[in-house]
Structure 1
């Protein structure tokens, strides 16, 4: 048994049992992948995959049990490498954060600035994607941690912590009829075309639920992945916008008016998510603590490794 065999088991599942894709990912041949699988099955004395001819269709019961062990072994293998880097080059390396455009654009700039002052030799990679893509990066070990509002708390492989809470806000062009009202309700809002976030992004679910609860069908004429696009089309007169409140910047959005709407939509909470058992380097801990002072190194370690009684600092 060797690490290459374990990697092949994991990648075979991740690539939906397509051995050609497994071979490409691991920079080897398909025949080599097949041989490694057969050798491991011979060594263990059990079949790990359900087969139809030469095709792999799924995992057998022992294969399912083995996969869980493989994930733990490969995670700890990576943790050992991270541990070595932590002590050999504590202020050098790469920190990879998976997040959405909204968080990267509006929530993180101040934190990133402070972090880079403290760790100028750490390469910071911000990967922007959907919440689902962020989850996938975390589970596959392609990001150190993720930041988003949706999805992160729905996966047992991940542990989440609250980052900050926020509300949606209504924006409209200057002199729009809504700007004349003292207090807006959802019925007022539904009288006009609406531009807001795409499904699955930046609290869109809470917007939909608010209208559904009020038994109102909004006229959503356009949806986008980020607030900059929404603001652009609101300025062009396509409709009124519903965006995350922190995305409105008075000095930049001079052609738009921010309307009080905290009473219309529920509070959203953006979360920081990490893979359970994942070893975070010291500078990663410091970045998270810059985001939320309550998330200290000690608190994170206890949450990530609850079975351990002591830790290496």
Structure 2
């Protein structure tokens, strides 16, 4: 048994059981990958993959158990490599953050700027996607951490911690009649066409749930993944917008007016997530603490060891 065989098994699964693509990803030959997998199966005494002719189609039941062990071993190997790099260079390397557009556009610029000033030798990358996509980026080792509001707390294989709370705002043009509503109600909001986030983003589930509880069916005119897009169409007078609170700036958004809607849609919690068992470079801990000072390295390490750290946002 050798590490090449384990890499081939993992990559075959990642490439949807296409050995040709797995070989390309690992810069080797398809026959070599196939032969190595067969030799591993013979050594273990079980079939890892189901087959149709010469093609593999999926994992067998013992294959799923083997894959789980393979992932653990390869993660430990990756951690060993990172440890070596950590001690060789404390303040340089690469750091990849997977996040949503809202976080990248409105929450992270200040943190990224501070981080870049403190670690000028670190090559920082931002990958964007919906919450499910960015969680998978971390699980597949394409990113070091994920930042989002939705769903990452429930993803198996991730350790997630609360970063900060925020509420939705309702935005309108300056002369909109909704601005005279005191207090603002769901019924009044639902009487206008709405422009808000796509179902996967920025607490949209709480928006839908709030209307459903009042048996209201709002007219969602337009859905977007980007608050800037939402605000653009609100400025054109096409509808009333519902956006994340951090996406509104009174100075920058002079053609809009905002009303707090936390009493209608509740509060939301953005979270940071890392892969369970991953080895984090010291500057990753620093980035997390820059984002949320309460999240010290000690607290993050406690969470990664299975403890439930107590802290207040």
Q: TM-score range by the shorter chain?
A: over 0.9
2:261 aligns to what?
261
Q: Is the 8 A contact 1:183 1:260 kept in 2?
A: no
* Structure 2 residue 88 is the aligned partner of structure 1 residue 71: no
Q: Secondary structure of the equivalent of 2:263?
A: coil
In 2, Cα distance between the equivalents of 1:110 and 1:221?
Answer: 33
In 1, Cα distance between the equivalents of 2:28 and 2:183?
Answer: 64
1:2 aligns to what?
2
| TM-superposed deviation, 1:8 | 1.3
1:100 aligns to what?
100
Structure-to-structure mapping, 1:11-50, within 5 angstroms? 11-50=11-50
1:194 aligns to what?
194
* Structure 2 residue 279 is the aligned partner of structure 1 residue 273: no
| TM-superposed deviation, 1:165 | 0.7
Q: What TM-score comes out, normalization by structure 2 length?
A: 0.95
Q: Is the 8 A contact 2:168 2:260 kept in 1?
A: no
Give the superposed CA RMSD: 1.3
1:310 aligns to what?
none
In 2, Cα distance between the equivalents of 1:260 and 1:298?
Answer: 35
2:310 aligns to what?
none
In 2, Cα distance between the equivalents of 1:24 and 1:201?
Answer: 34
Q: Secondary structure of the equivalent of 2:261?
A: coil
Question: CA-to-partner distance for each residue in 1:245-300, whole Å, 9 max, x for gaps?
Answer: 11000111000000132211021110000101000000001000111122211222
Runs of 4+ aligned residues of structure 1 deviating over 3 Å after TM superposition are none
In 2, Cα distance between the equivalents of 1:297 and 1:245?
Answer: 28
In 1, Cα distance between the equivalents of 2:21 and 2:205?
Answer: 35
Residue correspondences, number: 307
Q: Secondary structure of the equivalent of 1:263?
A: helix
2:245 aligns to what?
245
In 2, Cα distance between the equivalents of 1:63 and 1:160?
Answer: 29
In 2, Cα distance between the equivalents of 1:306 and 1:220?
Answer: 42
In 1, Cα distance between the equivalents of 2:121 and 2:56?
Answer: 45
Q: Is the 8 A contact 1:168 1:244 kept in 2?
A: yes
Q: Is the 8 A contact 1:186 1:264 kept in 2?
A: yes
| TM-superposed deviation, 1:15 | 2.2
In 1, Cα distance between the equivalents of 2:292 and 2:259?
Answer: 28
Q: What TM-score comes out, normalization by structure 1 length?
A: 0.95
Q: Is the 8 A contact 1:49 1:60 kept in 2?
A: yes
1:149 aligns to what?
149
* Structure 2 residue 300 is the aligned partner of structure 1 residue 303: no
Query: 149-158 or 212-221, which moves further after superposition?
Result: 149-158
5+ residue gaps, structure 1, are 308-313
Query: 15-24 or 217-226, which moves further after superposition?
Result: 15-24
| TM-superposed deviation, 1:6 | 0.7
